[in-house]
């Protein structure tokens, strides 16, 4: 999901057709989601895995250092202006930097983390961790979390996300899904798509 979200942001920031409101929506989601994800790993998951396998400590410490480097890039991304009249160069630069760091980080993380989880974390323990992460997730762009999992996740992953939402949020899932689809569609649209839409509106008017 983080690969897809950061890639879309880096691509959409370079499109003049991308609506600034949708860009800001995705930017804020990427910043909040990545920070929460990394804090959950650093504060909860890494200590559990290190306790189970002290030999993993060095590799996990290296991943935590990459989290720290990514935090600095997220600060720059969060500070980049996104308004209609804003110069998008800082946003583009920051979004590309975050995308590249995230992709590289995942290339380092997955070969270490996935075997460690398989060896040292039971299904029940993983489910407990996942529920805690989802329950404590920031509300910023929560609909995009569902939208990305629908598009790039497995049905099982989406089921975990929705099952662990607070009860009050479950009734909002259909509306959140529609909102996410609209935002993501607008960010993927080209100038030709927007012109075609405007022409259709003119004809129907």
The DSSP annotation for 42-77 comes to: IIIIHHHHHHH-GGGHHHHHHHHHHHHHHHHHHHHH
Q: Where are the domains of the chain?
A: 2-204
Is-contact 187 22, C-beta < 8 A?
yes
Q: What is the mean pLDDT of residues 43-50?
A: 95
| pLDDT tens digits for range 22-40 | 999 999 999 999 999 999 9
Q: Give Rg (Cα) of the chain.
A: 19
| pLDDT tens digits for range 58-83 | 999 999 999 999 999 999 999 999 97
| pLDDT tens digits for range 83-140 | 777 789 999 999 999 999 999 999 999 999 999 999 999 999 988 898 888 888 888 9
Buried b (16+ CB within 10 A) or exposed e, 3-34: eebbebbbbbbebeebbbebbbbbbbbbbbbb
At 80 the pLDDT is 96
> Would the pLDDT of 197 be above 70?
no
């Amino acid at each position: 999901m983080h690969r897809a979200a950061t890639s879309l942001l880096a691509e959409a920031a370079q499109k003049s057709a991308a609506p600034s409101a949708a860009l800001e929506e995705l930017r804020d989601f990427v910043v909040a989601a990545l920070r929460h994800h990394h804090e959950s790993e650093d504060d909860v998951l890494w200590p559990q895995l290190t306790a189970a396998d002290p030999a993993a400590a060095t590799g996990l410490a290296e991943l935590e250092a990459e989290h720290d480097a990514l935090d600095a890039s997220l600060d720059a991304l969060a500070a980049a202006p996104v308004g209609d009249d804003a110069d998008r160069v800082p946003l583009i630069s920051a979004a590309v930097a975050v995308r590249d760091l995230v992709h590289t980080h995942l290339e380092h993380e997955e070969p270490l983390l996935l075997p460690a989880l398989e060896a040292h974390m039971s299904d029940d323990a993983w489910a407990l961790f996942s529920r805690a992460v989802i329950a404590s997730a920031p509300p910023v762009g929560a609909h995009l979390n569902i939208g990305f999992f629908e598009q790039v996740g497995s049905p099982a992953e989406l089921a975990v996300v929705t099952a662990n939402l607070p009860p009050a949020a479950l009734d909002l899932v259909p509306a959140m899904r529609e909102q996410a689809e609209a935002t993501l569609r607008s960010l993927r649209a080209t100038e030709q798509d927007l012109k075609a839409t405007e022409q259709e509106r003119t004809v129907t008017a």
